Structure 1
């Protein structure tokens, strides 16, 4: 055990209130930094604390030169940004996120787990940070001339809109993992692939076909040379970045009929990823004819990165991790705590 870890444990025992104050002030600084400029009322609502308590804390942080308070709101100073950078590893140790990352990584046999503080379901700032963490992971794994396949969704959109690289990726390709969902263009895989390519100087290919196809339509489209060509590129991807959804939510978004949704429920569908539905054990219970990545392609892909968060996603994320073909999970504190609760229940059942 390091000296720092020993000091943290001593502090937790002797001065627990101090840790509460440190966490509160850290979160205030982090939210202000993510917002660029934010008013006190909005900040209090996002952190779920009263304006009176927040005023006292921000006045203190201002007195330390960490915050700048103006008529239009408050912003973090350069000194505040520097302090946040220095505190990041300490925060992870103090509040158990490092231990939680390791516990989830070990349980599901992952190469890496990254947990950002907060709940992306209730905080747009946490969702933004989840996207930033996904960008960092992708940059770490990308190599020259890689093909990267991307699914759609709001979290992946956050990632796409923040992805940057120091040098243009002229030989790299971004491609959609599948066709569109028929929802907002902002969140479709085609849009996100083109956004990522444009922001990094890479190239991209698009797949202009529906996501949900009947068997006859699927067979017909796969015989088209242009479609076949882009599908071959997609299935050659070395890296896949995907989101994770609740099975019933995703079925409704795809406008599947009530009878089909009832059948999914009867099959125990609990989570959805890359067009497949999984039960709690990570077993595929339904696959849709979809032009793009197939399950066998995912299983053969060198690097598979899952990005999903929010307290309601914990069980769905756990189900996909049970499938066992992801390498990296990027999630938030709320989802990770739900996953930890599931692991606790697993352990309790195994000992009875």
Structure 2
């Protein structure tokens, strides 16, 4: 069977420039899709080529029906979205991302890795990670009954990217997988659960308490009617979306005393999830009392998605990936390369 790549390879024999033009035009469509409406000047700065080239290529894409020009900037047309999806697999294979995904998944021993291209704009990287996660969740929805979701900036992008569904899903419940962390309400698990539920048109539960509490307080609160209901729902989670945090950064976000943070770091902690601090080998080196999904529950899930991108996340990802072999990891290309380098170094020790 002749693949799309085979066709491009053959066409490049008579139109050699096609292999250079496809990634460029794909990149233009891709950036417009996330940043629309966007002007030619801003787009040229994002891609790192002259505004003259952008003007020429954007005109070609407009005449083909893939872009529209408005007073506010360029926007993607429905045909442009179709072409973007059509080219995605080819361009990612051309860029070597598919092979890299397989190598990282194999090295980590997890079910699947989905990679997004790097970009100087970290916000754009997080947006695409969110979009890929939203697509994975959308595909899984027929199997979901209780969706657990944590907080964080990357999970926030997942809720933004999730499409607004037209049909109601009254059989699904979205619950925060943990209590509140820090003071920023926009990125709290409660907020994520509510936003996601409104996108899916389903039920949701709330948990209006901090993530970090004393063990005595947690045991008392578990018996409060409103909290007890949400806590019981947490234990029914069958699908989980969570972010992976760097140990020191998460300890600071929790507002732990400086001495306590130093103690956690000195124990070799590189990652934090669900109130547990993990070293490079995935071993628990510290923990705090939390009200949220249990680690045993996380380990038992067959639908679990981790989103993490940006700088300095490779060690944290390696550690947390040891929790569950069914894990789907969505991250960016440079992090994947760092993971391969780090795990290769570990194996040689």
- Residue 152 of structure 1: aligned partner: 151
Q: Summarize the Cα distance change of 1:225–1:304 in structure 2 as closer, same or farther, 3 Å threshold.
A: same
C-alpha deviation, 1:198, in angstroms? 1.6
Q: For 1:147 and 1:78, locate their aligned partners in 2 and report how far apart those are by CA, in whole Å.
A: 33
Check whether the contact 1:149–1:175 (CA below 8 A) recurs between aligned residues. Answer: yes
Whether 1:219 aligns to 2:215 is: no
Check whether the contact 1:248–1:261 (CA below 8 A) recurs between aligned residues. Answer: yes
- Residue 312 of structure 2: aligned partner: 312
List aligned pairs for 1:1-352, cutoff 5 A.
Answer: 19-62=19-62, 64-119=64-119, 122-143=121-142, 146-163=145-162, 164-165=164-165, 167-346=167-346, 349=348
C-alpha deviation, 1:234, in angstroms? 0.6
Give 3-state SS (helix, strand or coil) of 1:24's partner.
Answer: helix
Q: For 2:93 and 2:329, locate their aligned partners in 1 and report how far apart those are by CA, in whole Å.
A: 19
Check whether the contact 2:8–2:19 (CA below 8 A) recurs between aligned residues. Answer: no
Give 3-state SS (helix, strand or coil) of 1:331's partner.
Answer: strand
Give 3-state SS (helix, strand or coil) of 2:154's partner.
Answer: helix
- Structure 1 spans left out of the alignment, 5+ residues: none
The normalised TM-score by structure 2 is 0.88
C-alpha deviation, 1:63, in angstroms? 5.5
Q: Summarize the Cα distance change of 1:286–1:8 in structure 2 as closer, same or farther, 3 Å threshold.
A: farther
Q: Summarize the Cα distance change of 1:46–1:274 in structure 2 as closer, same or farther, 3 Å threshold.
A: farther
Check whether the contact 1:306–1:326 (CA below 8 A) recurs between aligned residues. Answer: no
C-alpha deviation, 1:6, in angstroms? 6.5
Check whether the contact 1:309–1:334 (CA below 8 A) recurs between aligned residues. Answer: no
The normalised TM-score by structure 1 is 0.87
Q: For 1:98 and 1:330, locate their aligned partners in 2 and report how far apart those are by CA, in whole Å.
A: 13
**Deviation by residue 1:35-86 (Cα, 9 ceiling, x = unmatched):** 2210123223333444455445435544555434444322234443332222
How many residues were matched structurally?
348
C-alpha deviation, 1:124, in angstroms? 3.1
Instruction: State the Cα RMSD in Å.
Output: 3.0
Q: For 1:333 and 1:89, locate their aligned partners in 2 and report how far apart those are by CA, in whole Å.
A: 15
C-alpha deviation, 1:103, in angstroms? 1.1
- Structure 2 spans left out of the alignment, 5+ residues: none
Q: For 2:346 and 2:2, locate their aligned partners in 1 and report how far apart those are by CA, in whole Å.
A: 31
C-alpha deviation, 1:265, in angstroms? 1.0
Q: For 1:143 and 1:83, locate their aligned partners in 2 and report how far apart those are by CA, in whole Å.
A: 27
Q: For 1:210 and 1:197, locate their aligned partners in 2 and report how far apart those are by CA, in whole Å.
A: 21
**Deviation by residue 1:225-248 (Cα, 9 ceiling, x = unmatched):** 432332111111111111111111
Q: Summarize the Cα distance change of 1:254–1:17 in structure 2 as closer, same or farther, 3 Å threshold.
A: farther
Give 3-state SS (helix, strand or coil) of 2:286's partner.
Answer: strand
Check whether the contact 1:283–1:323 (CA below 8 A) recurs between aligned residues. Answer: no
